[in-house]
C-alpha cells in the first residue's frame, strides 16, 4: 500500500476522533505547530527514523516536546513510531490539515507576483477566487518572482490562473508561431 494512502488513513482516523470530541479547531492549531516544527527542525525526522535510536527514547522525545498537545496527537505520533512509520508524519500532518480545510471550505493558494502583496491585495484576491471556487476562504502564500514581469499567477491545487505579463507574452508568442 502506498505511503500516501496509509498517511491519509491515519489522518482520517484522527480527524474522525477530533470531530467526535469537538476538538477539530484545537487539533488544527496543533497540527500547524507540528508542521512548523518538522519544517524548521530538519534533524527531528531523521532522528525519529534512525534505527539505532530506541523506540522508547523516540516516544519520550515526542511526549516531552509535545506535552501540551492533545493526547490523541501524541498517541498518533507514538503509534507511528511503534509501527516504524515515522516517515509518514509529515504526510499525516498535511492530510489532516487538508481535511480540516475541506470541512471549513478553505483552499490554499500560492500567489506569484513581482513584489510582496499587501494584506489588502491578498484579501481581495482571496475574496474573488474563494467565491469563484465555491470556498469560504483562500489562504494565500505570496511568492515573489521577478521573472513574471507584472501581474499575478495563482496556483490553487492543480489549477494555475495566469494573469502575468510574461504569461501573456508567451501566449502571444505561441499564437504567432502556430499561425505560421
> pLDDT tens string for the chain (180 positions)?
688 899 999 999 999 999 999 999 999 999 999 999 999 999 999 999 999 999 999 999 999 999 999 999 999 999 999 999 999 999 999 999 999 999 999 999 999 999 999 999 999 999 999 998 889 999 999 999 998 888 999 999 889 999 888 888 888 888 888 886
Q: Strands, E, within 53-116: which ranges?
A: 106-113
Q: Can you give the pLDDT at residue 166?
A: 86
Q: What is the pTM of this model?
A: 0.78
Q: Strands, E, within 51-150: which ranges?
A: 106-113, 137-144
Are 111 and 122 in contact by the 8 Å Cβ rule? The answer is yes
How many angstroms from the chain centroid is the CA of residue 81?
Answer: 22
Spatial distance between the Cα atoms of 12 and 7, rounded to a whole number of angstroms: 9
Domains and CATH numbers, the chain: 3-102 (1.10.520.20), 106-179 (no CATH)
Q: How does pLDDT run across 63-73, given as a tens digit for each residue?
A: 999 999 999 99
Spatial distance between the Cα atoms of 69 and 141, rounded to a whole number of angstroms: 26
Amino acid at each position: 500500500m502506498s505511503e500516501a494512502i496509509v498517511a491519509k488513513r491515519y489522518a482520517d482516523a484522527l480527524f474522525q476522533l477530533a470531530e467526535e470530541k469537538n476538538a477539530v479547531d484545537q487539533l488544527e492549531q496543533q497540527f500547524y505547530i507540528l508542521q512548523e516544527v518538522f519544517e524548521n527542525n530538519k534533524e527531528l525526522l531523521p532522528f525519529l527514523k534512525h534505527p539505532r535510536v530506541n523506540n522508547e527514547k523516540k516516544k519520550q522525545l515526542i511526549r516531552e516536546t509535545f506535552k501540551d498537545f492533545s493526547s490523541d496527537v501524541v498517541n498518533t505520533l507514538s503509534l507511528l513510531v511503534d509501527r516504524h512509520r515515522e516517515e509518514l508524519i509529515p504526510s499525516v500532518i498535511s492530510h489532516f490539515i487538508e481535511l480540516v480545510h475541506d470541512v471549513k471550505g478553505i483552499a490554499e493558494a500560492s500567489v506569484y507576483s513581482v513584489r510582496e502583496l499587501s494584506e489588502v491585495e491578498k484579501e481581495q484576491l482571496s475574496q474573488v477566487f474563494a467565491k469563484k471556487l465555491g470556498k469560504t476562504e483562500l489562504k494565500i502564500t505570496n511568492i515573489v518572482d521577478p521573472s513574471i514581469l507584472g501581474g499575478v499567477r495563482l496556483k490553487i491545487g492543480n489549477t494555475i490562473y495566469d494573469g502575468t505579463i510574461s504569461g501573456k507574452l508567451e501566449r502571444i508568442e505561441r499564437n504567432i508561431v502556430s499561425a505560421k
